[in-house]
Each structure stands twice: as C-alpha cells, then as structure tokens.
Amino acid sequence: MCVCVILCINALLPSPPPAKPSPPVKRDFLRHRDYKVDLESKLGKSVVITKTTPQSETGGYHCNVCDCVVKDSINFLDHINGKKHQRNLGMSMRVERSSVEQVRRRMESNRQRLQQRKHEYDFQERMRELQEEEEKQKAYRRERRRERKRRAPGDVEAWHDGDMAAVMGFGGFGSSKKN
C-alpha cells in the first residue's frame, strides 16, 4: 500500500520545466586545408612503447585537435575529413555556395595558368630530351649485347667440363670422343 501511495503522489507533483534548448552554434563553412598532411614522417621507423609513453607517441597517427590515435593512414585521412574532426575545428560540413562572379574569376585564373604552361613548354627542348633518352637506351642495349657476347663463349666452355657432366648424369653432348 505504501508503494502505491508514493507513486500516485509523484504522479501528481508538477514536473520541472523542460530545459531550454541552447541556440545552435554558428559554424564556419567547410574550407580547404592550409597545411600538408604529414603521412610519411613515421614511415619505416621503429618506436619503443612502454606503459609511460604518452598517447601521442604510441603507434599510429595522433590527431591534436580531437586528441585521438588512429592506427593507419587511410583511417587518419578519413578522420581528418570527417564530421567529428571538422566540428572540433569549428566548421560545419556545409560548403559555401559560390556566386557566378566567383566561378568566372576562377575559370579566368585557370585559363591564365594554362596559357603560362603552354608558353613554358618548348617543343625543341622536349625533342632534344627525347633524343638524349633514346641515345642512352641504345647505349645501354649495346652494352648488354656486348656483355652477353663476352659471357656466351665462357658458358659453352663450362659445359665441356667432365666433372660437371658426370655430376649431371651424362658423359657429354653426343660426342663419342673420350678425353
């Protein structure tokens, strides 16, 4: 009976007013990274890990923003591009919409960059480079052929060795002449 009375009394008490939802945080739009992601610095290195080693120095890639360790480079890139990391940086996953004028400026700058590359490209210089490369390849092939020719007579002589032929289980190459 006591339990029933307590439950009924609790049901009649006014509930506390619901907490007001906090206003949404205004976050910046997603933008390009202004730094290069360093994935190669720890490549091929051995690290001794003890119980007292800080988390940032243990195996894998450490994210300073989120204070977490990711074990491989692919997951690290996924984390850096992910929602949690971007939120910790103060950015939303939304991209700012470009205006028509911004697109035109970008296309014009790309055109100018392409024109500069065309002017920098010199056909005669490229032809000289290709000819030099061909000459190097020809010289390499010539040298390989000469090396094979030098080795070839020595190889034939080695087969005439009687001891080697006996080890291989035959007396010769069809010759009936005895040594």
Instruction: Give me the pLDDT at residue 132, please.
Output: 94
Instruction: Give me the pLDDT at residue 46, please.
Output: 80
Instruction: Give me the pLDDT at residue 107, please.
Output: 96
Instruction: Give me the pLDDT at residue 108, please.
Output: 96
Instruction: Give me the pLDDT at residue 149, please.
Output: 84
CA distances (Å), origin 34, targets 31, 107, 166: 9, 21, 73
Instruction: Give me the pLDDT at residue 58, please.
Output: 80
Instruction: Give me the pLDDT at residue 9, please.
Output: 60
What gap in Å lies between CA 175 and CA 173, rounded to an integer?
6
pTM, 2 dp: 0.45
Instruction: Give me the pLDDT at residue 3, please.
Output: 54
Successive 10-residue mean pLDDT values, the chain, 179 residues: 55 66 73 82 80 82 88 90 89 86 95 81 82 94 89 56 70 60
